[in-house]
Chains A and B, each alone.
Chain A
Amino acid sequence: MTAVAPTRPKPVGVIGPSKGVSTFFETTSSWWGILALLLIWEIAGQVADLVWLPPVTEVIATLWQLFVDGVIQPHLGASLWSLFVGFSVSLVVGLIVGTLMGLSTTINSALDIFVNAMLFTPALIFAPILFAVFGLSDVTRISVVVLYAMFIIIINTAEGVRNVDDPLLDMAASFGASRWTAVRRIILPSAYPLIIAGLRLGAGRAVKGMINGEMFIALIGLGGLSASYGKSLQFPEVWAMALFIMIVAIIINQGVSIIERKLTAWYD
């Protein structure tokens, strides 16, 4: 037996390359460029003296003050909680539905129209309905996160399961593997990289859903806080919140890529 397991090309996400905040560090060839941008912002803010463009030093000072006064912390907690719950729901439902769609052509043809339509549609369009039904409760915000994150997980999981190599399945059958064993031991491991890619894309979308949903309700969470600053035209606070949300998104994204690397290290 000299046969070696065929090396598979590393699969990428189905829906385009995983463009997201992850590329922040990759495309920044040097920190000098970012520093130059900050400097231009500072000078423009000082010189132009526009109400909507406060200098970056003022923005950072405002952000610091928001922390010292304890304004941000409860909203950060609320945001992360809805993100956590929403992403967990998307994860469980997405993996189950995606696996079923990958395994069965009948289930796939029953659901593919719905899933694809939901993937194309900007999920925030459902926010008015969700708000009408669930009101100001957490369920509204969590549902928006789920609608943003779930469908890409379903699609990537189904795609991964569907694209398992035929020879692997033949081998499983010739060794007398039951259907369940084949799914558990052959299909899911071989679909694993695409599934992880789906989870990663889903995490990025979940963060967007969290912010946009909160901005729509404009009451709670980081998005809610920045929406209320925006409506009262407090621009240093608006910029400070945008900066802070960006930092939170980058941290979450880096965390996800570290987890992704750990989870896929044994593969290949």
Chain B
Amino acid sequence: MTTAVAASRALPATRRVELRKPLPTWKVWLVRAFAVALFAIFWEAGANLADSLLIPTFSSTMVALWETTFVTGEIWGPLAISNLSFLLGYPIAVIVAVPLGLAMARWKRFDKAFSPIVAVSLALPIAPLIPVVLIAMGLGITPRIFIIFLFAWVFIATNVRAGVRAVDKPLIEMASSFGASERVIWWKILIPGATPAIMTGLRTGLGRAFAGMVIVELIMLPVGIGALMLDYRGFFQADLLYATTIAVVIEAVVLAMLMQRLERRLLKWK
């Protein structure tokens, strides 16, 4: 008995540092709601304290968000203009980059021919070159589509290439020694094996394409949502400026969530 007590005194049984102490779901949401409420209160109080034309309160920003989406509908036109170029540019990037990445992974000659272009495209900053694209392609929607394409394609291609290359080499050799045709190798081995990496590429590319849409409108070619924000800033309509920013954040989050859902479904199906 005494030894046991002594031992426990020498090594006080400290509780293990619990890292993954799971919170019940209702508690997680309670904490989240509390955090959001705290954020809103701090914003409201800070804005009242600052009393600046450029810092609207949380409540007035929310009112502006409600009005611009449901009452005046001011945001939808510019949002549609911006998204049109995004909805064209991103699929084009996918259609070009996925086959390119696959081909680069499978055939050495393709890889040799395109790897300098890929390397340069990974390193070359696109934003400073936007004026070049604008002068080369005019002021319509084409240059914006092209810039969004430029933002996205290389990340898709490199991820697809890496994914296919990571597929087990012996597996492919075995299949072809058992007489599997190139087609079978593609559909049964390469593409299923590379799907996670391809999805990573598509997700990264989506983020890049969306960033491209925002960047081109904010720094060089004010149209769509970028022009709207710059107007609000110019006319000191701070509540609408903040509300529009929040709307774009919401769109980015919704896009990311949709992509995640698609990814989960595809991986399950596989």
- Which residues from chain B contact A71 at a C-beta distance below 8 Å? none
Q: B119, A20: Cβ atoms under 8 Å?
A: no
Q: Which of B19, B211, B245 contacts A103 (CB 8 A)?
A: B19
Whether, in the assembled complex, A170 has its beta carbon less than 8 Å from a beta carbon of chain B, the answer is yes
Q: A27, B119: Cβ atoms under 8 Å?
A: yes
Q: Per-position contact with A for B6-18: 1 when CB-CB < 8 Å, else 0?
A: 0000011111110
Q: Per-position contact with B for A241-255: 1 when CB-CB < 8 Å, else 0?
A: 110011001100000
- Which residues from chain A contact B233 at a C-beta distance below 8 Å? 128, 131-132
- Which residues from chain A contact B256 at a C-beta distance below 8 Å? 116, 120
Whether, in the assembled complex, B20 has its beta carbon less than 8 Å from a beta carbon of chain A, the answer is yes
Q: Which of B16, B135, B215 contacts A51 (CB 8 A)?
A: B135
Known: A122-B214, A128-B229, A178-B14. A246 touches B124 (CB 8 A): yes
- Which residues from chain A contact B13 at a C-beta distance below 8 Å? 173, 176
User: Within the complex, what minimum Cβ distance (angstroms) separates A103 from chain B?
Assistant: 6
- Which residues from chain A contact B122 at a C-beta distance below 8 Å? 19-21, 23-24, 27
Interface residues of B (CB under 8 A from A): 11-17, 19-23, 27-28, 31-32, 34-36, 39, 52, 54-55, 111-112, 115-120, 122-125, 127-132, 135-136, 155, 158-159, 162, 200, 203-204, 207, 210-211, 214-215, 218-220, 229-230, 232-233, 238, 241-242, 245, 248-249, 252-253, 255-256
Interface residues of A (CB under 8 A from B): 16-17, 19-21, 23-24, 27-29, 33-34, 36-37, 50-53, 102-103, 105-106, 109-111, 113-114, 116-118, 120-122, 124-129, 131-133, 161-162, 164, 169-170, 172-179, 182-183, 187, 208, 211-212, 215-216, 218, 223, 226-227, 229-231, 233, 235, 238-239, 241-242, 245-246, 249-250
